[in-house]
A = this chain, B = another copy of it.
Amino acid sequence: MATMNQRLVLASRPTGKPTATNFRLEQVPLPALADGEVLVRHHYLSLDPYMRARMSDGKSYAQPQPLDAVMIGGTVGEVVESRHSGFRAGDPVVGMGGWQQYSVVAAAQPGALRKVDTTHVPIAAYLGAVGMPGVTAWVGLNHIIEAKAGETIVVSAASGAVGGVVGQLAKARGCRVVGIAGGADKCGYVVDELGFDACIDHKTLDGTDAIAAALQRACPNGIDGDFENVGGAILDAVMRHANAFSRIAMCGMIAGYNDVPIPMAAPQLILLNRMKVQGFIVSEHMPLWPQALAELAQRVAAGTLKYRETIAQGLESAPAAFIGLLEGRNFGKQLVRLI
């Protein structure tokens, strides 16, 4: 039985892009379990763009990540010891264990730890297509965009953990789906493997005008829905071709995560086109999770919902992998393997 735990804490708040010096690797002893607690060994840690916002202490929808505390993050793993009757050693579980090898979880707390079925779904998928990113895609598409058959849906960061699910679900609902991604390999994957109708490589396009021209070619009937993971020039370009009564689900503004706000060039289009632009956070839509997870798990098990992972090895690789994620160097879901 392990007695020591390796963990990464936030050592300082980044200004602009995070660097390795914002994190500190620590070795700490594992405490003995109290009644109701469960010790989990993490197999995978999830890295997600929202973590950048938590690293700042500016206004956000969540409390900032405290300094000198373990970085928050979703984890999947295996129960190694349990003092809660609902869990026993060997159970595969998903939780918010943070950037560390082990976590001690007060398992009675609602939502703190959930047993998962690894017979039909690989355990790492519970951090991606059958986890928070997948449910984010499901909620945004079905409850913010309310996509209908025959409509044209645009998805930015289309090869990512969220974007890839958005597009495949939209195709399943009978939409025309156009992705936006960075690089020919990502765009090829989005079209050839995920089945999008088209994908625009924003790395070959300089600025709003060029992206807008590419969108116009890819969306001959205009844009009815946009699942926005990026913001900035991409959002401005989408708005130029937005149809009357179109909906934008604001899920991420990765272009603005490094503390630099990017204006929206033409907000009058919201009025001219009677658009709805709505921000949402998936954790505030908990009643929808069971239905979403059921569909996502069924599709992954059936092979009709595909995804890709970029896996960094070892906890010490997490800071560099996270910085790479913010720069779009990952391909699909970014994970850190901890075993």
Taking beta carbons and an 8 Å cutoff, which residues of A are in contact with B? 53, 59-61, 231, 235, 244, 250-253, 256, 261-268, 270-281, 284
* Residue of B59, B235, B272, B281 touching A59 (CB-CB under 8 A): B272
Q: Give Cα distance in the complex from A262 to B231, angstroms.
A: 17
Quote the shortest CB–CB distance from A183 to chain B (angstroms). Answer: 25
Closest-by-CB residue of B relative to A250 is B271
Q: Give Cα distance in the complex from A284 to B267, angstroms.
A: 20
* Residue of B256, B266, B271, B281 touching A263 (CB-CB under 8 A): B266
List of B residues within 8 angstroms of A251 by Cβ: 271
Q: Is the CB of A274 within 8 A of B284?
A: yes
Q: Is the CB of A278 within 8 A of B275?
A: yes
* Residue of B235, B261, B272 touching A265 (CB-CB under 8 A): B261
Q: Is the CB of A267 within 8 A of B231?
A: yes
List of B residues within 8 angstroms of A279 by Cβ: 270-276
Q: Is the CB of A268 within 8 A of B284?
A: no
Q: Is the CB of B261 within 8 A of A61?
A: no
Quote the shortest CB–CB distance from A8 to chain B (angstroms). Answer: 25
Q: Give Cα distance in the complex from A235 to B264, angstroms.
A: 12
Q: Is the CB of A272 within 8 A of B60?
A: yes
Q: Is the CB of B244 within 8 A of A268?
A: no
Q: Is the CB of A268 within 8 A of B261?
A: yes
Q: Is the CB of A262 within 8 A of B267?
A: yes
Q: Give Cα distance in the complex from A60 to B265, angstroms.
A: 17
Q: Give Cα distance in the complex from A258 to B173, angstroms.
A: 41
Q: Is the CB of B271 within 8 A of A252?
A: yes
* Residue of B250, B268, B272, B273 touching A270 (CB-CB under 8 A): B250
List of B residues within 8 angstroms of A59 by Cβ: 272
List of B residues within 8 angstroms of A275 by Cβ: 278-279
Quote the shortest CB–CB distance from A243 to chain B (angstroms). Answer: 11
Q: Is the CB of A61 within 8 A of B273?
A: yes
Contacts A61-B244, A277-B277, A278-B277 given; does A261 touch B272 at CB 8 Å: no
Q: Is the CB of B253 within 8 A of A267?
A: yes
Contacts A61-B274, A273-B61 given; does A268 touch B256 at CB 8 Å: yes
Contacts A261-B266, A267-B262 given; does A272 touch B235 at CB 8 Å: no
Q: Is the CB of A278 within 8 A of B276?
A: yes
List of B residues within 8 angstroms of A270 by Cβ: 250, 277-279
Q: Is the CB of B253 within 8 A of A271?
A: yes
14 contacts between A and B (CB under 8 A): A53-B272, A60-B272, A61-B244, A231-B267, A250-B270, A250-B271, A261-B268, A264-B264, A264-B267, A270-B277, A271-B279, A274-B278, A274-B279, A276-B279
List of B residues within 8 angstroms of A61 by Cβ: 244, 271-274
Q: Is the CB of B265 within 8 A of A263?
A: yes
List of B residues within 8 angstroms of A272 by Cβ: 53, 59-61, 279
Q: Give Cα distance in the complex from A162 to B152, angstroms.
A: 35
Quote the shortest CB–CB distance from A303 to chain B (angstroms). Answer: 33
Q: Give Cα distance in the complex from A263 to B265, angstroms.
A: 4
List of B residues within 8 angstroms of A268 by Cβ: 231, 253, 256, 261-262
Closest-by-CB residue of B relative to A253 is B268
